[in-house]
């Protein structure tokens, strides 16, 4: 009986280690939070919708609008260039430059008091 219990414990530990190892390797993939252009676009669209609604409600200053509009223009231009280079394939991997600009835009949007 004790052998069965210890064998079961070893099996559980081995499975736990295997699951942890596989989850760690998947979070360290080269894709990160933006594996595809489609996912990148989805990650940016929601905060931008929230921002646009706040602008319409008068909750964003002119200076904040200029900052976000500039950041969005840079992101959007890089995104469109990457999409064109990928043959308009939204499932293509997101280039690092687009990821960086998306992160900067999302960070700027998150800093707004809206």
Average pLDDT (62-75) is 98
Same domain for 19 and 36:
no
Instruction: Give the confidence band of 61 by pLDDT, cuts at 50, 70, 90.
Output: very high
Same domain for 47 and 24:
no
pTM of the model: 0.71
Same domain for 86 and 48:
yes
Segment among 29-33, 84-88, 109-113 with least mean pLDDT: 29-33
Query: In the chain, how many domains are there?
Result: 2
Instruction: Give the confidence band of 6 by pLDDT, cuts at 50, 70, 90.
Output: low
Same domain for 1 and 25:
yes
Residue 17, pLDDT score:
43
3-state helix, strand, coil in the chain (%, to 5): 75, 0, 25
Same domain for 90 and 59:
yes
**106: DSSP letter:** H
**36: DSSP letter:** B
**Residue 21's domain spans which residues?**
1-30
Instruction: Give the confidence band of 33 by pLDDT, cuts at 50, 70, 90.
Output: confident
Same domain for 69 and 25:
no
Same domain for 42 and 20:
no
Same domain for 41 and 69:
yes
Write out 60-80 in H/E/C secondary structure.
Answer: CCHHHHHHHHHHHHHHHHHHH
């Amino acid at each position: 009986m004790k052998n069965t219990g210890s064998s079961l414990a070893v099996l559980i530990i081995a499975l736990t280690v295997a699951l942890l190892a596989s989850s760690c390797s998947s979070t360290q993939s080269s894709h990160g939070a933006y594996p595809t252009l489609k996912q990148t676009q989805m990650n940016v669209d929601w905060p931008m919708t929230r921002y646009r609604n706040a602008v319409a409600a008068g909750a964003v200053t002119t200076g904040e609008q200029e900052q976000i509009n500039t950041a969005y223009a840079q992101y959007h231009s890089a995104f469109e260039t990457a999409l064109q280079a990928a043959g308009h394939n939204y499932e293509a991997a997101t280039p690092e430059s687009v990821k960086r600009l998306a992160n900067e835009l999302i960070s700027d949007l998150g800093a707004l008091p809206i």
